[in-house]
Amino acid sequence: MRSITIAGTEGLQKAAREFLEAVGDNRIIAFYGQMGAGKTTFITALCRELGVSETVTSPTFTIVNEYLDGGGESVFHFDFYRIKRLAEAVDIGLFEYFDSGCFCLMEWPEMIEELLPEETLKVQILVEDEKTRMLVF
C-alpha cells in the first residue's frame, strides 16, 4: 500500500507527477472518494502531466471524455455517477476502452464495480482537511 499527500493546489502537479511514476504500467485507474474530495481536480492534474492540452472536464452527462496526451495517445476519463444500470456502461463500449492500452481514469467506479478488470488500480482520495488530500493505493 502506498500513499501520496496532496498539499493544496500548489502541490497538485507534484503529486500527479509522483503518482504517474508510482503506477508503472497500470492504465486502468479507479478513483474513489466522497463528493468534493477532488477526483476531477486530480484527474485534470494527471492529464496535464500526460501532456493533454485540451480543457479537462468531468464527463458527468456523457459518461466518457477522450483527450490526447502529448504523444497523441488517447486518455479516457469516465464519470459513472449517473449510471443506473451496468448495461449503460457496457453499451458505451467499456470493455473496448479497457482493452485499448490507453489510460482509463474513472470517477465513481463503485457504480460499475463488478465490471472492473482484475488489474484495475484502485485509488482512495481521502480528505485530510480543507486543503490537504491523501491518495492511498
Q: List the CATH number of the domain containing 60.
A: 3.40.50.300
d(CA 130, CA 127): 7
DSSP 8-state secondary structure symbol assigned to residue 58 = -
Residue 132 placed within a domain: no
Per-residue pLDDT tens over the stretch 46-73: 999 999 999 999 998 899 999 999 999 9
pLDDT score of 76: 98
d(CA 9, CA 74): 26
pLDDT score of 122: 98
Residue 136 placed within a domain: no
Residue 51 placed within a domain: yes
Residue 137 placed within a domain: no
Residue 75 placed within a domain: yes
Residue 9 placed within a domain: no
pLDDT score of 38: 96
Per the structure, the complete domain to which residue 69 belongs is given by 26-122
Residue 5 placed within a domain: no
Number of domains composing the chain: 1
Residue 114 placed within a domain: yes
For residue 76, give the C-alpha cell.
479516457
Ranges under pLDDT 50 in the chain: none
